[in-house]
Amino acid sequence: MRAAHLRSLCTSLRRTAIDQVSTEAHSTSSAHQTLLPCLQQSCYCSAAITQSSDTKQTNLCSAINDALHIALEQDARALCFGEDVSFGGVFRCTVGLYERFGRDRVFNTPLSEQGIVGFGIGAAAMGCTPVAEIQFADYIFPAFDQIVNEAAKYRYRSGGDFNCGALTVRAPYGAVGHGGHYHSQSPEAFFTHVPGIKVVMPSGPREAKGLLLSSIRDPDPVVFFEAKMQYRTVSEEVPTGDYMIPLGQARIARSGSDITLVGWGQQVAVLERAAEAVQQSDGISCEVIDLRTLLPWDREAVAASVSKTGRLLVSHEAPITSGFGAEVVANISKRCFLHLESPPLRVCGYDTPFPLVFEPVYLPSVQRVMAGIRESCGF
């Protein structure tokens, strides 16, 4: 029944997209020449994007939910789908969407990550704005081929005639305290090796809402990783209205002068706590940079900070070997070689499967980061 519903919906979407193309685009001799402007002109553009001065205390789950409500409200072609999405999702991030926007725009899918992303690619190519949910980032790998060989290359291989840039793939990632090796992984580095997509990892509720809205409206496919540990453990003041945070621009989370700490996602909070602790205990001033976006990443912001501090420490939950921290260290070592006072360091997860009872030992904790800071500053 689900498969039949998806086939019916896909046919309906295709007909709708073709109808909209025929009325909105200039007449041309071929279908592919009209599909492109239709896709480029997203429906949300007709509504003014406002930054509300009103804020409210919001956790990460509610911030994601707010962003999805805004996206579907402003873009009549926006869709939200995935396993259990119409029920609110296992983390409850999609609560209320089905009731407000109906089964044709918010719906459950079969338990097939490859099918979820593949459907999203097709819907995006037909002029829709799909937001696909992968229930856990650990299970994104069956969809790896669709993301890497289809979504990322769709525009390139057609010479710009077609694209699926409106696709956004959401996936909860990272440690949660009890997830073990199948519900705790951080697979972001796999996707940062792929030209044609963007990879975004917000560090908190305010960042998540603005970055998700930017991702949904971005002209390229985006893989959007959400720290599930933060869904209900982190709350902050978040604007209640519509706002966007530009992709590819890092954020200075804490200013400092002795060493630059670089992270993304929930590891930014660990770096901030370590920076405060080492300031109190050792008098070391740390500058903390939240990359926000890994592909593309803000090289200039990191280089400017390291040129000032002379030291660099990068930290992430994923295993250290071939983690994205290696890319940051390699790039900044070349750019800032003459400014460095000590070798750049990485404080990361170990090269093991993500453990269960040994999770506290595996994670790059505040204590491990502090040890790295002291090592760098004492070089």
Would residue 113 show up in a list of annotated catalytic residues for this protein?
A: yes
Pair (266, 230) in one structural domain: no
Pair (146, 70) in one structural domain: yes
**Which residue shows structure tokens 């003041």?**
237
> Which domain does 364 fall in, by range?
251-377
Quote the pLDDT of residue 2: 44
**Set 83, 150, 183, 272: catalytic member:** 183
Average pLDDT of the residues of the chain: 89
Would residue 178 show up in a list of annotated catalytic residues for this protein?
A: no
Quote the pLDDT of residue 21: 32
Give a yes or no: residue 202 inside a domain: yes
**Which residue shows structure tokens 């769709």?**
154
CATH of the domain at 350: 3.40.50.920
Digit-coded pLDDT (tens) for 57-77 = 999 999 999 999 999 999 999
Pair (214, 279) in one structural domain: no
Name residues whose C-beta falls within 8 Å of residue 360's C-beta, 6 or more positions apart in sequence.
none
Quote the pLDDT of residue 90: 95
Pair (207, 271) in one structural domain: no
Contact 320, 346 (CB under 8 A): yes
What mean pLDDT do residues 191-198 have? 98
CA 52 to CA 240: how far, in whole Å?
Answer: 6
Domain boundary among 186, 206, 239: 239
Quote the pLDDT of residue 25: 33
CA 18 to CA 16: how far, in whole Å?
Answer: 5
**Set 113, 188, 272, 327: catalytic member:** 113
Whether the per-residue pLDDT at 260 is higher than 50: the answer is yes
Give a yes or no: residue 244 inside a domain: no
Nearest to 123 by CA among 156, 173, 78: 78
Q: Which long-range contacts (CB under 8 A, 24 or more apart) does 231-234 make?
A: 231/59, 231/60, 231/61, 231/91, 231/93, 231/172, 232/59, 232/60, 232/61, 233/59, 234/59, 234/60, 234/204, 234/205, 234/269
Give a yes or no: residue 356 inside a domain: yes
Contact 173, 227 (CB under 8 A): yes
Going by pLDDT thresholds of 50, 70 and 90, the confidence category of residue 226 is: very high
Task: Give the H or E element holding residue 8.
Answer: helix 2-24
Domain boundary among 239, 264, 294: 239
Whether the per-residue pLDDT at 208 is higher than 90: the answer is yes
Structure-block tokens of residue 249: 């621009």
What mean pLDDT do residues 159-182 have? 95
What mean pLDDT do residues 302-307 have? 98
Contact 286, 237 (CB under 8 A): no
Quote the pLDDT of residue 274: 98
Pair (340, 307) in one structural domain: yes
Give a yes or no: residue 126 inside a domain: yes
Give a yes or no: residue 246 inside a domain: no
CATH of the domain at 196: 3.40.50.970
Beta bridge partners of 262: 289, 314
Whether the per-residue pLDDT at 27 is higher than 50: the answer is no
Digit-coded pLDDT (tens) for 136-147 = 999 999 999 999
Whether the per-residue pLDDT at 238 is higher than 50: the answer is yes
Pair (313, 225) in one structural domain: no
Pair (146, 285) in one structural domain: no
Digit-coded pLDDT (tens) for 77-117 = 999 999 999 999 999 999 999 999 999 999 999 999 999 99
Quote the pLDDT of residue 8: 55
Pair (197, 220) in one structural domain: yes
Give a yes or no: residue 245 inside a domain: no
Whether the per-residue pLDDT at 13 is higher than 80: the answer is no
Helix, strand, coil shares of the chain, percent, nearest 5, are 45, 20, 35
What mean pLDDT do residues 51-56 have? 78
**Which residue shows structure tokens 């590819």?**
248
Quote the pLDDT of residue 51: 56
Structure-block tokens of residue 126: 């037909």
- Per-residue buried b or exposed e for 301-318, using 16+ beta carbons within 10 Å of the residue's own CB: bbbbbbebbbbbbbbbbb
Pair (257, 198) in one structural domain: no
Whether the per-residue pLDDT at 343 is higher than 70: the answer is yes
Nearest to 174 by CA among 268, 103, 56: 268
Query: To 5 degrees, how large is the angle CA 56–CA 231–CA 224?
Result: 100
Give a yes or no: residue 172 inside a domain: yes
Contact 312, 344 (CB under 8 A): yes
The number of folded domains in the chain is: 2
Quote the pLDDT of residue 59: 98
Structure-block tokens of residue 280: 């109190």
Domain boundary among 206, 239, 272: 239
Please report the beta strands in 98-229, taking only residues with DSSP state E, as ranges in sequence order: 106-108, 129-133, 168-173, 198-200, 222-227
Nearest to 344 by CA among 312, 316, 377, 303: 312
**Which residue shows structure tokens 């890319």?**
327
Give a yes or no: residue 65 inside a domain: yes
Whether the per-residue pLDDT at 225 is higher than 80: the answer is yes
Pair (17, 131) in one structural domain: yes
Name residues whose C-beta falls within 8 Å of residue 358's C-beta, 6 or more positions apart in sequence.
none
Residue count of the chain, please give it.
379
Whether the per-residue pLDDT at 55 is higher than 70: the answer is yes
